[in-house]
Structure 1
């Protein structure tokens, strides 16, 4: 039986010796699907004592985080979603201060510390700024997981080095680790944590094993008894169970759905009339259909018969529509939104009346550079829309790019897309598998060095090269790479060897985008696009690449020959002296 994420929570706050409690805390335990896509959140903030309004900042920071974090894109990982929300909160608080007397003295403004724990999948994520603390409980000690952002001027004087609202921007600490069932975490403002030790936490948990709110109140009372005179807030989190299924749980969407029959022309399937088969592959069957309700042509995709008993393949199959529904861009394939209830497992997408890029290349074996640029720019814009959502396409190839009759280019087939927010905390958290076509994959997929948006850039540059020459820059050498040490064997074939009519600088641009090492490529798709139309001085010089880069095998053969000759020369000298 599969389990889900479950965390027991407890929290308590007290003004201590102060008239106003400037601490604020909160927690949120959502239901599915947010439990899987966003997780469980605890957050606390502590205002600064010198300000009469910092409790407003504390409340705004915690409430804003608990509200806005769950409204961010499901495709975003915790780090991006949480930091975006906190940066927005910081900007708002700082703007309030700039409109008040606090613009001259930040210690009188809406300024606060902030610490949060997010439990998602099998991982815990920490966000922190200021001097509140997050601990992990051990049998004999409290392990401090946060760093105090406090600057000490002298033995008796210090001030916060970082806080929300203190400046226009703020650096937010982030950590992530795999958590375990039974672990206990303590979040506390400085008024409480300075008076608590591990034995106090164990005693509170022993006294209230099933009531963590009572245990948190116990700890606050203990800190007060130890002399605490500031505001005190304590939160406790105990991991009860962790999910044993992928966090995105796409399989839940296919529960109760039957496998579709073999589709035939003129068949009525789920309210669609099948027209004809468009494509059959090892992964799916694709048919053109008509929606009688709207009269529109649509594309229906059903899982391959051979893979219907593979749950992971079926989840990947559903991923395509999941991704498409979260994107809206003219250069990306759109889903067909309908309110009809489904009985079978299938996806419905828009029909693009046109041809694949593979067919376009057949029809245009020697295209001019401007025509290639127009296509590449549109593909890049589609990729950028994916990357903004923390998605990697991972299967960019000519067969997955369509050009309609108006010249609009669309990326299709999202079945291999890696979504950082869905994969986070699962066995496939890192996009380092080989889900797409091998001959268009970047070398890092084979070396296991980790992939990024620059891996999609490599695939786009490779397609650019292929459009211009009809060949691949490394042939099939990339598919033979097995480790980082093999990268030096990749020999780039200059584009001008096949097309002398192309400008000399083009090779320099493509060579950079297609560099075997990811760090040597363009930093972003926008930089690649810019260089394709406005090459920089380093490209215009069009210097001949070193032999080691142009032909590594020839270079090393030459080195070996020179070393051999040197050895023979030395042997000759030794022999003559003997």
Structure 2
């Protein structure tokens, strides 16, 4: 049975009040299905600054652009990132119009407006606010304002607007998220209404008219007018009628709608795809090379293992692979394959990369030239940065999940452990990702934190270290962290190799990228790549570590040999 979706009721009312025109604007958009699950429902109210004759136009542009452009942002982005980027772009456009108008038409030519928005996604409400409007919540009969007006007070009788869209080249937007409960009532109001209704009176009106939200909004506007408001007045009310326990996206719906495929043997077929051979199998999946006769393309089909088929929640995690691949466009991310026809079974379908894994390359060439390593790392980082731009952390970077094609191009695979901000702040029920190879997992992952940019950097640093030395920076201890005490006890082994000695500054870069504490790693992966290319002065200034720190085993072996020689010498003399 599918979980119940989010259900909302909306009421709204706007009035010009004592003004000749109404420069307020409001809007709402409640999508259905996967869009509601991944992006949520959005509501917005704007109040054009009355000192400008273009204030009403600015308010309308702000609301319409938000309700339209927010849904054009990446599904992988969090609400905060998506909404802020839309509002920053809107502010830039409005400010450009403001500058053009004020140069030619005087001070009344500005496109300036306040703006308040509410995005309800899953079981969380996201608030965005700039200006002197109000967003508040009525819960269990009591009203609570959730935003602060951006006003500068000069005296009890004189204030002015401190922040607004279109007033400057940059704008600071307040953001807040709050957990939802069924029955919550949210109110968005411009200052013309909010400033003239005491909270207790507002609560009484909402409690009395909770069954008819349009009437409740109209009566709040009427009450504000009766209390002396001489401004435009707009009120928007949203009631939470039902919350989802979990929701469905296109990815998750596939896990619910389709059965897992039957056992696949060579030369059998599934959905018109011919099975050529099995490529790989583990406890989570079976991977096959398949041929699409319609296009003569070789593709990779990934079917869930029997252990996963009994758990619908784990199947949702399994479908992350294709979900991520469809939303990140990069030459260093293996793309999802589009058959152009319906499927009958649950599986992941990806483009085939004709090449080998980075692990195989490391086995074939244990000591790669430094420049080859740099080139590989630059491509790995390019793929990871494409994920990070979409607010996706890979979560399982290791040599087995990095493919190298016949031209030396690198592509990342296996996104089943990915952490997606846009899914994490929704109601989609996904289990925590199972950790892959523990020796590449950052200590914070082993301690239960979700993957992030810093943990991906740690994995890249470990891969870089292994490519250059054939070893791991913390040996077997790196994968055994179970407490903060274990993390503090980790001892970095300086990067050395016999054939082509490494410069000391390379070791400094590797040590920084693989620091057990995330806050001490690089701020950006580009810094790590730069430090692998050219000496960082701070690594050159570091003291030369003694042999006991750089290679304890070699130190003790040497000391034992020296003592044995000394003992032999003394025995001969005696």
Task: Measure, in 1, the Cα distance between the counterparts of 2:88 and 2:378.
Answer: 32
Report the Cα distance in structure 2 between the residues aligned to 1:548 and 1:215, rounded to whole angstroms. Answer: 76
Cα distance, 1:166 vs structure 2: 0.4
Measured in 2, the distance between the counterparts of 1:176 and 1:159 equals 27
Deviation at 1:192, TM superposition (A): 0.6
Does the Cα contact within 8 Å between 1:12 and 1:220 map onto a contact in 2?
Answer: yes
The residue that corresponds to 2:80 in the other structure is: 79
Q: Which residue of 2 aligns with 1:540?
A: 540
Distance 2:547 2:449 in 1: 26
What corresponds to 2:102 in structure 1?
101
Change (3 A) 1:258 1:550: same
Specify the alignment match of 2:5 in structure 1.
Answer: 4
Give 5+ residue unaligned stretches, structure 1.
Answer: 553-578
Change (3 A) 1:89 1:244: same
User: 1:498 Cα deviation (Å)?
Assistant: 5.8
Counterpart of 1:576? Answer: none
Please report how far the alpha carbon of residue 52 of structure 1 lies from its aligned counterpart in structure 2 after TM superposition. Answer: 1.2
Shift of 1:199: 3.9
- State the distance in 1 between where 2:264 and 2:206 align: 61
CA distance in 1, matches of 2:41, 2:318: 28
1:472 aligns with 2:485: no
Distance, in Å, in 2 between the alignment partners of 1:548 and 1:144 is 62
Mapped to 2, the partners of 1:446 and 1:106 lie a distance apart of 59
Please give the residue correspondences for 1:377-526 in structure 2 after superposition, counting only pairs within 5 Å: 377-426=378-427, 434-448=434-448, 451-496=451-496, 501-526=501-526
TM-score for the superposition, normalised by structure 2: 0.91
Equivalent pair of 1:335/1:350 in contact (CA under 8 Å): yes
1:249 deviation in Å? 6.7
Does the CA contact (< 8 Å) of 2:244 and 2:427 recur in 1?
no
SS in 2 for 1:477: helix
CA distance in 2 between counterparts of 1:445 and 1:82 reads 29
Offset at 1:116? 0.7
How do 1:246-261 and structure 2 match up within 5 A?
Answer: 246=247, 248=249, 250-261=251-262
Q: CA deviation at 1:17?
A: 0.4
- Equivalent runs, 1:229-268 vs 2, <5 Å: 229-246=230-247, 248=249, 250-268=251-269
Query: In the TM superposition, what is the alpha-carbon distance from 1:197 to its structure 2 partner?
Result: 2.8
Distance 1:311 1:356 in 2: 30
**Residues 375, 87 of structure 1: CA spacing in aligned structure 2 closer, same or farther, 3 A cutoff?**
same
Matches within 5 A, 1:38-187: 38-101=39-102, 108-138=109-139, 141-187=142-188
Which segment is superposed worse, 262-271 or 120-129? 262-271
2:555 is matched with none
Assess, with a 3 A threshold, how the Cα gap between structure 1 residues 530 and 157 changes in structure 2: closer, same or farther: same
1:405-444 superposed Cα distances (whole Å, 9 cap, x missing partner):
1111111111111111012134879x97543322211111
Corresponding residue for residue 324 of structure 2: 323
Contact 2:291 2:299 in 1 (8 A): yes
Give the root-mean-square deviation of aligned CA atoms.
Answer: 2.3
Q: Shift of residue 41 of structure 1?
A: 1.0
Inter-partner Cα distance in structure 1 for 2:549 and 2:112? 55
Indicate if the aligned counterparts of 1:382 and 1:411 stay in contact, CA closer than 8 A: yes
* In structure 2, C-alpha distance between the alignment counterparts of 1:288 and 1:188, rounded to whole Å: 58
Aligned partner of 2:35 in structure 1 is: 34
Task: Provide the residue aligned with 1:218 in structure 2.
Answer: 219
- Once the two structures are superposed, residues 276-325 of structure 1 have per-residue CA deviations (whole angstroms, 9 ceiling, x without a partner) of 11111111111111111111111111111222111122112221111111
Question: What displacement does 1:247 show?
Answer: 5.7
Q: Distance in 1 between matches of 2:396 and 2:337?
A: 22
Tell me whether 538-547 or 486-495 shows the greater mean CA deviation: 538-547
- Cα separation, 2, equivalents of 1:237 and 1:275: 55
Alpha-carbon deviation of 1:251? 3.1
Closer/same/farther in 2, CA of residues 389 and 87 from structure 1, 3 Å limit: same
Q: What is the aligned length?
A: 551
For residues 282 and 75 of structure 1, do their structure 2 counterparts lie closer, same or farther at Cα, with a shift above 3 Å needed? same
Deviates more, 1:247-256 or 1:452-461: 247-256
Q: Is the 8 A contact 2:37 2:426 kept in 1?
A: no
The separation in 1 between residues aligned to 2:80 and 2:486, in whole angstroms, is 34
Q: How many Å apart are 1:104 and its aligned residue?
A: 9.1
Contact 1:133 1:187 in 2 (8 A): yes
* 1:563 paired residue number: none
1:129 CA displacement:
0.4
Offset of residue 61 of structure 1: 0.3
Q: Which residue of 2 aligns with 1:277?
A: 278
Unaligned runs of 5+ in 2: 553-574
1:8-46 deviation per Cα after TM superposition (whole angstroms, max 9, x unaligned):
111100001000111111111111111101111110011
With structure 1 as the length reference, what TM-score do the two structures score? 0.91
Contact 1:115 1:129 in 2 (8 A): yes
Write the deviation string for residues 470-493 of structure 1: whole angstroms up to 9, x where unpaired.
Answer: 111011223322233432200001
Give how far 1:108 is off: 4.2
- Structure 1 40/222 Cα, relative in aligned 2: closer, same or farther at 3 Å? same
- Separation in structure 2 between the aligned mates of residue 33 and residue 197 of structure 1, nearest angstrom: 39
d(CA) in 2 for partners of 1:440, 1:411: 15
Q: Secondary structure at the match of 1:219?
A: helix
- Give secondary structure in 2 for the equivalent of 1:352: coil
After superposition, the Cα gap between the structure-2 partners of 1:428 and 1:103, relative to the gap in structure 1 and judged at 3 Å, is farther
- Deviation string 1:489-541 (CA, Å, 9 cap, x unpaired) is 00001012666611111111100111111111111111111111123211233
- Correspondence for 2:24: 23
* Structure 1 range deviating more: 228-237 or 433-442: 433-442
Determine the structure 2 residue equivalent to 1:300.
301
Secondary structure, aligned partner of 2:319: helix
**CA-CA distance at 1:207 after TM superposition:** 4.3
Cα distance change, pair 540–432 in 1 and its aligned pair in 2 (3 A) = farther
Is the 1:138–1:198 contact (alpha carbons within 8 Å) kept by the matching residues of 2? no
Partners of 1:281 and 1:550 lie apart in 2 by: 37
Residue by residue, what CA displacement relative to the aligned partner does 1:348-368 show, whole Å, maximum 9, x if unpaired?
A: 111111111111001111111
Moved more, 83-92 or 431-440: 431-440
CA distance in 2, matches of 1:106, 1:36: 44
Task: State how far apart, in whole Å, the 2-side matches of 1:521 and 1:262 are.
Answer: 45
